[in-house]
Structure 1
Amino acid sequence: MEDLKILSLKITALLLVSYFFLKVFYSIWWKPKWLERRLKQQGIRGNPYKLLIGDMKDFMKQITEAWSKPMSLSHQIAPRVDPFTLNTAQKYGKVSLCWAGTTPRLNIMDPDIIKEVLANKQGHFGITPLALNPLILILTEGLTLLEGETWATHRRIMTPAFNSEKLKGMVSIFAESCVLLVEKWKKSIALGGTCEIDVWPEFQDLTGDIISRTAFGSNFDEGNQILKLQRELQGLVVEAMQSLYIPGLRFIPTRKNRRRKSLDKNITSMLRSLIERKETLMRTGQTNTDDLLGLLLQSNDENSLQSSPQNKNGNKMTIKEIIEECKQFYIAGQETTSSLLTWTMIILAMHPEWQEQAREEVLALCGKQHPDAKTISQLKTVTMILHEVLRLYPPAIALYKHTYQETKIGNLSLPAGVDLTLPLLLIHHDPELWGSDAEEFKPERFSEGLSKASKNQLAFFPFGWGPKTCIGQNFALMEAKIALSIILQNFSFELSPSYTHAPNTVMTLQPQHGAPIILKEI
């Protein structure tokens, strides 16, 4: 009897071990090879699967080498910024296969297929599993990381805060922050006649101040305190993401893990307190609702009235969800516009003829007065310049999706479990879509609007496209137009001899070694 019990235990242990090894074998070999076969049977060419690591070793080698040295002063930045994707596309075509570890990844450069993916009519494309990494979710679980009905509810509630009429009311707030920056720069110039300033951190401070003022109104000082903590947390998250990710490692109480947890707790607590106070003041009529938080809370209350008895909270965001959207304000609102303004300054320093054209337009329309909502809409040259900068130097260099169900796009039938990369930077530089001068700075290509700038309407999508187009697109462009106009009214500028042209990506497209610019007051 005892022998039978021992035998039974041995068989159970053997079955468990066998199950474990079969599961591992399925995950790291059988499934990737099955997916590879499915994709290659449809004529998709690409790299063969390598056990466990896929193409990650080659990816890191190429990007490390590219980022180790600067480049010449040209706009042909794709070989430095995204060498692996560029090389894969050049070798295998508009739809090419590579591997993110054990996951197949399709790089798609065909605008017609991209349109189908972003339209997502079947609802089978979602956020990549990598974006749901707990290290990223600690920064925000806001709109960009939501799907389905939850995304639709949040989008509907947040849209009124970002409509064009509401944004017009924020123009003076944008200008106020920009004037503070200009006065700061003028004090530096007063000592000499010219001064050298690294505009990259300056624009991060500017856009952070603007988002604090527009999001929290009279409480913007508290907003700036939250921003400082958010920046520190973001730095720690980026640092952790650049090292080997081991599940569960974030729970080990190391100094940096404790600091991340503490920052997240403090940020959440400060936002909760600020939101609850705002709600109380709104109920008693002691505050207006012209800031983003007030507009969001007002819209949230209006939507809650539409809830049905069966779904009492289905049309309303919880306070936790509002907190996450406030975190999203900072990340999206600061990073995108600071990147756009930095590259615009660099490029206009490289192309002084366009800098002068833009300045003449601003002075003709505004004189020395701050631009208002009306003049902003008339800035044709400034708008063309910003669109061309977004084409050549998009803040986000790619969009990422994942197939959660088998789905058909174009002539392809994609199984579940495939990552899709839409390499926005490469598409923006593609000569087949933009002509032989695709690598040149030519704002005039946008003189007749976005639809006629290229050979395909979906060749330009710096803020995404379709239902998930960035909700803050108009906010970012208005902010950039006002900041650039006020700078042009007050300064001429050129690249410092110490400037090193080295674009790279850390969440957004950034100057690896800063952006030193020589300013001269006019």
Structure 2
Amino acid sequence: MERELSWGAQISLCISGLLCCFLLHYLCEFLWLRPERLREKLRRQGIKGPPPSLWYGNIKEMKRIQMEENALRESSDHVKDDYSVVMFPYFVKWRNEYGPLFMYSTGSIQLLYVSHPDIVKEMGLYKSLDMGKPSYLSKDRGALLGKGILTSNGDLWTHQRKVIAPEFYADKVKGMVDLILDASVKLLKSWDRIVESEGGAGVIVVDEDLRSFSADVISRACFGSNYSEGKEIFFRLRQLQHVMSKQSLFIGIPGLRYLPTKANRKTWRLNREIRSLILNLAKERREGSSTSCKNNLLESILEGARDNLLNTRDREDFIVDNCKNIYFAGHETTATSVSWCLMLLACHPKWQAQARAEVIKLCQGQFPNADMLRKMKTVTMVIQESLRLYPPTAFVTREAFKDVKLGELNVPKGISLVIPTSIMHHEQEIWGPDANEFNPDRFLHGISGACKSPHAYMPFGLGSRTCVGQNLAMVEMKIILSRILSNFSFLLSPNYVHSPAFRLTIEPQFGVPLIFKRE
């Protein structure tokens, strides 16, 4: 009996030892050998970067540099500063040290920083599905983005774009002008009441009101409802955005997203609630209980789920993930962009007056129509310059799914490329010595005449993955700006603190309080 127990114990020890060896080999391969092979392929091409640690990559160094920058930073309301130095000081430091191409890592993810205009151009021209959105986006930010059109690749992305893109073609967006105007009426009436109640000059923090307006637009245009029906979805998405943005530096740490941390538990709960709300909305639409117009994006998504996917879980994921993508990207980025635009116009009264004069001349006291919007050259230039200085998203990212050649650069399979949009938009070599200044005149002859490298302007993304909703976003921004300009003049409140923050989008950390007067 003792001998049998001894043999059993030995077998157990043997199995345990083999499992430990297997786990050790896996961790060594996953955390060091495979990443090191990728880094070596880049080193052979002269690309350098900060040395990573085994488990965290360069995350600890990024946090240290960020903390040092925060300690040195003094509060300032100077709106001309290049805020990328404050938000991403590690990129500025490493670029000064290693040049416009350098490698770094976050956990097990190997990244190549790209701010060389020629490589950016090659990425924009690249058509093959061998390079797409990084897989870590749908994993580490899966609760917010899932495998919707913003993060998917291959055949799934091709199908999603075929389903969703036609809903945002120019002719379709032209038919949305009236519903955008309807949504603007409520906003302007509420601001008018505030101004009147405060004796003709009222302070309004515009951010949340603009989010509600933009949420109303995307709900009406894409889902046949209004903001009051979708507000629970928007509210939870906003909460989820805040939770996930606080964890943005920790993307890539193995196993972190599975641990029951406080942030992860909140993320999981919000994800379940959002999924349930969207599926209930879809169920109502399928059962025909909604009295709203059925010719909208939700109908196309439901049809797309039926056409291309087989099992119930995949169909539900298709519906939920794409609705989350449209809800988030369709209203959050647009609302934030309008907030920055109003801030810049408040700081530059000459341009505010010039844009207002154009709107009054074209509209002549009427609501703007599609033809009037098309003729708003000054307003368009103001929006383009605002999107240059404060692009809605901080990065354009791609992953090489096979070995890829971009010009003279050989990118090995598994490398994720990161283009810092905000930094590229402030490059003096591309935009001139006034790159940090608000100067809409640079767009007088369009994007191609605004800078040396037009492909470096990418507020809506790059190449074949350019945002499908940019037509709607531009029309929405033109309408709300023209309506505000024709009804109010405005300037910055003394309480305004200029502090751009990265919360997955680039937004004003403390809001944008403006002093409005009836025009």
Task: Calculate the TM-score normalised by the size of structure 2.
Answer: 0.89
- Maintained 8 Å contact 1:397/1:423: yes
- Which residue identity is paired with 1:247? G
Q: Distance in 1 between matches of 2:262 and 2:26?
A: 35
Letter of the 1:162 counterpart: F
Paired AA for residue 488 in structure 1:
L
Q: Give 1:235's aligned residue.
A: 242
2:404 maps to which residue? 407
2:255 is the alignment partner of 1:247: yes
Q: Corresponding residue for 2:513? A: 516
2:110 is aligned with 1:104:
yes
CA, structure 1 residues 295+380, in 2 after alignment: closer, same or farther (shift >3 Å)?
farther
Do residues 184 (structure 1) and 187 (structure 2) align? no
Q: Which moved more, 1:326-335 or 1:264-273?
A: 264-273
Deviation at 1:130, TM superposition (A): 2.9
The alpha-carbon deviation at position 139 of structure 1 amounts to 5.0
Residue 290 of structure 1 and its aligned partner are, at CA, apart by 4.2
Whole-Å separation in 2 of the counterparts to 1:256 and 1:8: 41
> Could you say what secondary structure the match of 1:272 adopts?
helix
In the alignment, does 2:23 pair up with 1:26?
no
Tell me how far apart the structure 1 counterparts of residues 270 and 9 of structure 2 sit (CA, whole Å).
52
* Stretch moving more, 458-467 or 42-51: 42-51
The DSSP-based 3-state class of the residue aligned with 1:46 is: coil
Other structure's SS at 2:397 match: strand
Query: Shift of residue 23 of structure 1?
Result: 2.7
Give the 5 Å matches for 1:107-256: 107-133=113-139, 135-138=141-144, 140-191=146-197, 192-218=199-225, 220-239=227-246, 247=255, 252=260
- Pairwise CA distance, 1:11: 4.4
Match for residue 81 of structure 1 among 84, 87, 110: 87
Q: Which moved more, 1:475-484 or 1:326-335?
A: 326-335
Q: Which amino acid aligns with 1:410?
A: G
Task: Establish whether residue 47 from structure 1 lines up as the match of residue 50 from structure 2.
Answer: yes
* Letter of the 2:220 counterpart: R
Quote how far apart the aligned CAs of 1:381 are: 0.3
Partner of residue 282, structure 2:
275
1:377-425 Cα deviation digits (max 9, x unpaired):
0000000010011111101011122223222222122222322111111
Report if the CA contact (8 A) 2:143-2:268 is conserved.
Answer: no
User: Counterpart amino acid of 1:269?
Assistant: S
User: Deviation per CA, 1:186-218, whole angstroms, max 9, x where unpaired?
Assistant: 111112211111112221122112212222324
Cα offset for 1:453?
A: 1.3
Per the alignment, residue 498 of structure 2 pairs with 501
Aligned positions, number = 509
- Letter in structure 2 aligned against 1:268: R
CA distance 1:296–1:379, change in 2 (3 Å): farther
Distance 1:266 1:104 in 2: 33
SS in 1 for 2:365: coil
Q: Secondary structure at the residue paired with 1:97? A: strand
> 1 CA distance for matches of 2:391 and 2:464?
20
CA distance in 1, matches of 2:380, 2:172: 20
The residue number in structure 1 matching 2:345 is 348
Alignment of 1:385 onto 2:392 = no
Choose which of 318, 321, 324 in structure 1 pairs with 2:318.
321
User: Partners of 2:404 and 2:270 in 1: how far apart?
Assistant: 41
Residue in 1 that maps onto 2:20? 17
Q: Which residue, out of 455, 458, 482, partners 1:458?
A: 455
Secondary structure of 2:447's counterpart equals coil
Partner Cα distance (1:210, 1:55) in 2? 41
- After superposition, what is the alpha-carbon deviation per residue over 1:279-321, rounded to whole angstroms, capped at 9, x for unaligned? 4449x9x764443324555x749x94xxxxxx8869xx93541
2:139 maps to amino acid? N
Q: Using the alignment, how far apart are the partners of 1:91 and 1:295 within structure 2?
A: 49
Alignment match, 2:75:
70
Q: 1:107–1:422: 8 Å Cα contact kept in structure 2?
A: yes
Structure 2, unmatched stretches of 5+, are none
Q: Cα–Cα, structure 1 residues 322 and 119, in superposed 2: closer, same or farther, change >3 Å?
A: farther
CA distance in structure 2 between the partners assigned to 1:24 and 1:163 by the alignment = 48
Report deviation, 1:257.
5.9
Report the counterpart of residue 291 of structure 1 in structure 2. Answer: 296
**Which residue number corresponds to residue 449 of structure 1?**
446
Whether the 8 Å CA contact 2:123–2:463 is kept in 1: the answer is no
**DSSP-derived class of the 2:150 partner:** helix
Question: Greater CA deviation, 204-213 or 214-223?
Answer: 214-223
Counterpart residue type for residue 152 of structure 2: L
Stretch of structure 1 that moved more, 378-387 or 403-412: 403-412
Contact kept? 1:32, 1:49, Cα under 8 Å: no
Counterpart residue type for residue 385 of structure 2: E
With over 3 angstroms needed to count, the CA separation of the structure-2 counterparts of 1:114 and 1:517, relative to structure 1, is: same
Q: CA-to-partner distance for each residue in 1:6-25, whole Å, 9 max, x for gaps?
A: 65554444333333223323
The two structures, once aligned, show a CA RMSD in angstroms of: 2.9
Over residues 472-500 of structure 1, what are the superposed CA-to-partner deviations in whole Å (9 max), with x where a residue is unaligned? 11111110110000000011111111111
Question: Please, what TM-score do these two structures have when normalized by structure 1?
Answer: 0.89
**Deviation at residue 233 of structure 1 after TM alignment:** 3.7
Deviates more, 1:411-420 or 1:482-491: 411-420
Q: Equivalent pairs: percent with the same residue?
A: 33
